Amino acid sequence: GVGAAPRGRAPRGAAALTRGPQVLVYDLLFGKGLRCGGRWKALARRHRARLQAELARLKVRHKVSRDEDLLAPAQAASPGGSQVPRYIRVNTLKTCVDDVIDFFKRQGYSYLGKAASVEELRALSGKKFLLDLHLPELLVFPPQTDFHDNLLYTSGHIILQDKASCLPAFLLAPAAGSHVIDACAAPGNKTSHLAAILKNKGQIFAFDVDTKRLATMNTMLMRAGVTGFQLAQQDFLTVDPGDPRYSKVTYILLDPSCSGSGMVTRGLREEPAPSAQRLQALAGFQRKVLSHALSFPALRRLVYSTCSLHQEENEDVVRAVLQEHGSAFRLVTAFPSWPCRGLATFPGAESCLRASPADTLTHGFFVAVLERGGEEAAAPSSLPAAAEENPQHGETAEPRAAPRKRKRKKQRVKE
Ligand SMILES: C[S@@+](CC[C@H](N)C(=O)[O-])C[C@H]1O[C@@H](n2cnc3c(N)ncnc32)[C@H](O)[C@@H]1O
């Protein structure tokens, strides 16, 4: 839910710094920029160029290209991240699972078939790999496997994506040919997954506010062979649901900014817990953006996801927005066989799913699937093909009720 930059640790050369300046230097070099003000900020800004040059020199000295490769071995071996396998999603726009399996076999890996349990994934080691037990196009390798330089990755045939992060597009399951919004889309892993499910047939409208992340996303989508998408640098809250361009949007994937408290940072030091104030601000934004998404007139199914462990950003957001929308939308039971459910904080909250390193061997994650209530949506013929083919995708959690017209509030907030 947060930026893509590595977080929560300092590289080797920074160890002698005291905590305050260390955090400042970290934010300046690796984070989203400086959040504080005053004397320290001015000082850090003044030295930004030198610090960046020093970081580049450190990487040259240690013969590494990525910031995270500067981690001290002791930090890199911390528990949590080190247990989560390396998941790769086969990009079916460019290849198929069998061909990728053959490729890795030729590279000396042994293929062990489809996993029967999470325990099998946990036991993986050496040059062995499995097909995931839950997701059909996901291969699982031991935790320390690195494919960043692998030809299949650099050519867009495989996507390095955590298993939990594959759930939203899989559970949205848009039918080929449909119109889909990815509301907070960059850097675009879920957008490319949506395109693969749509088989590049249909239209994806993807929005994000962050120029840098959008540039990365554009490159990634090109590399992955995604077509039929429109990328816009726009605050999703300002996208007009009444605009005729979106009149056929029946699916929305909403993966907004969050505290990122579920992110497993492969060996990185844990981030301090977000303050109550920050959680409140994030939850306020998440409620607004979810409510806005539900106001698109043709919307039939929406997936809301975060990589946060906090109830405030997850169950509480879903409950508040469902209450606001009355019976127009209902929660459906996402992936009934998934072992880890939403916290039972309101009736039906178990329809949501959660993920965690301990229970599902993934990043910490939360997913809720919402569908428009009402008789027309209840008719089986109106369900998208993928959901009909894969009944495990969703089961109604609550009785369907007639949709209620809601006056749309136009809101605009800053995160
Ligand atoms: C969790 S990340 C999205 C990750 C993305 N779905 C993926 O799978 O690659 C959240 C994104 O929301 C974007 N964002 C934050 N506020 C936004 C807004 N008001 N409108 C659109 N995008 C926003 C952030 O810039 C960030 O890229």
Helix axes 38-46, 48-61, angle to 10 degrees: 60
- Residue 208 annotated as lining a ligand binding site: yes
> What separation in Å is there between the alpha carbon of 402 and the centre of ligand 1?
32
Q: Which of 96, 166, 258, 307 is catalytic?
A: 307
Distance CA 227, CA 215 (A): 16
With 0.85 as the threshold, say if the pTM is over it.
no
Residues 6+ apart with CB under 8 A from 32: 2, 3, 5
Q: What is the model's pLDDT at position 33?
A: 53
Residue 305 Cβ inside 6 Å of ligand 1? The answer reads no
Averaged pLDDT in 10-residue chunks for the chain of 415 residues: 36 35 48 52 65 56 45 39 90 98 98 97 97 98 96 98 98 98 98 98 98 98 97 98 98 98 73 91 98 98 98 98 94 95 97 97 98 57 34 38 33 28
Residue from 208, 217, 292, 304 whose mutation best tests the ligand 1 pocket (most atoms within 8 A of CB): 208
Asked if 94 and 153 touch (Cβ cutoff 8 Å), the reply is no
Q: What is the model's pLDDT at position 406?
A: 36
- Residue 76 annotated as lining a ligand binding site: no
Residue 281 Cβ inside 6 Å of ligand 1? The answer reads no
> What separation in Å is there between the alpha carbon of 292 and the centre of ligand 1?
15
Q: 368 has which bridge partners? A: 304
Closest by CA position to 93, among listed 212, 195, 174, 215:
195
Asked if 56 and 253 touch (Cβ cutoff 8 Å), the reply is no
Closest CA to ligand 1's atom 10: 257
Q: 304 has which bridge partners? A: 254, 368
Which atom of ligand 1 has the smallest separation from the CA of 258?
Answer: 1
> What separation in Å is there between the alpha carbon of 307 and the centre of ligand 1?
12
Residue 237 Cβ inside 6 Å of ligand 1? The answer reads yes
Distance CA 241, CA 237 (A): 10
Judged on CB neighbours under 10 Å (0-12, 13-18, 19+), 190 is buried
Q: Does 352 qualify as catalytic in the annotation?
A: no
Helix (H) or strand (E) holding 172: helix 163-172
- Residue 364 annotated as lining a ligand binding site: no
Asked if 185 and 236 touch (Cβ cutoff 8 Å), the reply is no
Residue 89 Cβ inside 6 Å of ligand 1? The answer reads no
Tokens of 229: 């998408």
Q: What is the model's pLDDT at position 57?
A: 55
> What separation in Å is there between the alpha carbon of 340 and the centre of ligand 1?
25
Q: What is the model's pLDDT at position 241?
A: 98
> What separation in Å is there between the alpha carbon of 257 and the centre of ligand 1?
5
Collapsed DSSP state (helix, strand, coil) of residue 237 = helix
Collapsed DSSP state (helix, strand, coil) of residue 267 = coil
Q: How far apart are the first and last CA of the chain?
A: 13
For residue range 199-235, what is the model confidence (pLDDT) as tens digits? 999 999 999 999 999 999 999 999 999 999 999 999 9
Which atom of ligand 1 has the smallest separation from the CA of 235?
Answer: 20
Looking at the chain, which residues constitute the CATH 3.30.70.1170 domain(s)?
81-160
Residue 187 Cβ inside 6 Å of ligand 1? The answer reads yes
Single-letter amino acid, residue 95: T
Distance CA 349, CA 332 (A): 10
Q: What is the model's pLDDT at position 43?
A: 58
Asked if 28 and 55 touch (Cβ cutoff 8 Å), the reply is no
Residue from 7, 32, 184 whose mutation best tests the ligand 1 pocket (most atoms within 8 A of CB): 184
Closest by CA position to 250, among listed 391, 415, 122, 384:
384
Instruction: Give the side-chain half-sphere CA count within 13 A for 325.
Output: 27
Distance CA 317, CA 255 (A): 13
Tokens of 64: 């590494």
Q: What is the model's pLDDT at position 264?
A: 86
Q: What is the model's pLDDT at position 228?
A: 93
> What separation in Å is there between the alpha carbon of 256 and the centre of ligand 1?
5
DSSP class of residue 311?
A: G
Residue 255 Cβ inside 6 Å of ligand 1? The answer reads yes
Looking at the chain, which residues constitute the CATH 3.40.50.150 domain(s)?
163-396
For residue range 81-127, what is the model confidence (pLDDT) as tens digits? 678 999 999 999 999 999 999 999 999 999 999 999 999 999 999 99
Q: What is the model's pLDDT at position 60?
A: 43
Closest by CA position to 323, among listed 247, 404, 256:
404
Judged on CB neighbours under 10 Å (0-12, 13-18, 19+), 66 is exposed
Residue 262 Cβ inside 6 Å of ligand 1? The answer reads no
Helix (H) or strand (E) holding 333: strand 329-334
Q: What is the model's pLDDT at position 388?
A: 35
Tell me the CA distances in angstroms from 89 to 2, 8, 204, 210, 293, one per residue in order: 21, 27, 20, 25, 27
Tally Cβ neighbours within 10 Å of residue 172.
Answer: 29
Domain at 163-396: CATH code: 3.40.50.150
> What separation in Å is there between the alpha carbon of 22 and the centre of ligand 1?
27
Cis peptide before 187 (omega within 30 of 0): yes
Q: What is the model's pLDDT at position 382?
A: 29
Residue 161 Cβ inside 6 Å of ligand 1? The answer reads no
Distance CA 67, CA 146 (A): 15
Helix (H) or strand (E) holding 181: strand 179-182
Closest CA to ligand 1's atom 6: 185
Residue 213 Cβ inside 6 Å of ligand 1? The answer reads yes
Instruction: Give the side-chain half-sphere CA count within 13 A for 317.
Output: 35
Residue 256 Cβ inside 6 Å of ligand 1? The answer reads yes
- Residue 96 annotated as lining a ligand binding site: no
Distance CA 63, CA 72 (A): 14
Architecture of the domain made up of 81-160: 2-Layer Sandwich (3.30)
**What is the residue-wise DSSP string for 188-232?**
-HHHHHHHHHHTT-SEEEEEES-HHHHHHHHHHHHHTT--SEEEE
Helix (H) or strand (E) holding 86: strand 86-90
- Residue 184 annotated as lining a ligand binding site: yes
Tokens of 406: 């809601």
Closest CA to ligand 1's atom 15: 257
